[in-house]
């Protein structure tokens, strides 16, 4: 049973640079995913302004009836977020792993242009392996 429904990576300027969906439900086409990414980017920014606590760095977790949304923003402004089933565990560590894969297989690729959509085979490959490992670990518990 897939725990993750989809993964988004948003660049610093708010454009969607990577989208992958894993679930059988909630699949969306390119335009919808772009729209959702811009929406999330804006909401994330607004939430920092609205937050009653000082030093807030934005939304980290959004919980709804049918899904959870975990978001990680690096200090450079790149956002990684996963839409997963409610109550999914260890999504933050998965996001950190994905961040490391991004720094290794995307940023170190000299032919990858910054803030452009990610088209790196090695990244896709290692990402699938990481998600698979996470899935196996989940089932093993």
| Residue 48 touches other proteins, criterion: CB under 8 A | yes
Spatial contact of 48 and 31, defined as CB atoms under 8 Å apart: no
Largest separation between any pair of C-alpha atoms in the chain: 43
Burial code (b: 16+ CB inside 10 Å, e: under 16) for 4-18 equals bbbbbbbbeebebbb
Q: Partners of 38 in the beta sheet?
A: none
> Nearer Cβ to other proteins, position 23 or 47?
47
Shortest CB 36 distance to other proteins, Å? 20
Bridge partners (DSSP) listed for residue 69 = 62, 83
Q: CB of 45: closest distance to other proteins in angstroms?
A: 7
If residue 93 lies in a helix (H) or strand (E), which one and from where to where? Answer: helix 91-101
For other proteins, the binding residues in 4-43 under the rule CB under 8 A are 12
45 touches other proteins (CB under 8 A): yes
Q: Which of residues 61-120 bind other proteins (CB under 8 A)?
A: 73-78, 90, 92-93, 96, 99-100, 102-104, 107-108, 114
Binding site for other proteins (CB under 8 A): 12, 45, 48, 57-58, 73-78, 90, 92-93, 96, 99-100, 102-104, 107-108, 114
């Amino acid at each position: 049973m897939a725990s993750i429904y989809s993964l988004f990576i948003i660049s610093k300027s708010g454009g969607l640079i990577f989208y992958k969906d894993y679930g059988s439900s909630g699949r969306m086409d390119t335009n919808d995913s772009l729209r959702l990414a811009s929406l999330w980017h804006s909401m994330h920014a607004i939430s920092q302004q609205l937050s009653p606590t000082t030093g807030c760095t934005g939304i980290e977790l959004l919980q709804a009836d049918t899904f959870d949304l975990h978001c990680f923003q690096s200090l450079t402004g790149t956002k990684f977020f996963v839409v997963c089933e409610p109550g999914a565990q260890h999504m933050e560590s998965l996001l950190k792993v994905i961040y490391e894969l991004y720094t290794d297989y995307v940023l170190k690729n000299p032919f990858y242009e910054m803030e452009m959509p990610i088209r790196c085979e090695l990244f896709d490959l290692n990402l699938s392996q990481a998600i698979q490992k996470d899935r196996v670990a989940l089932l093993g518990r």
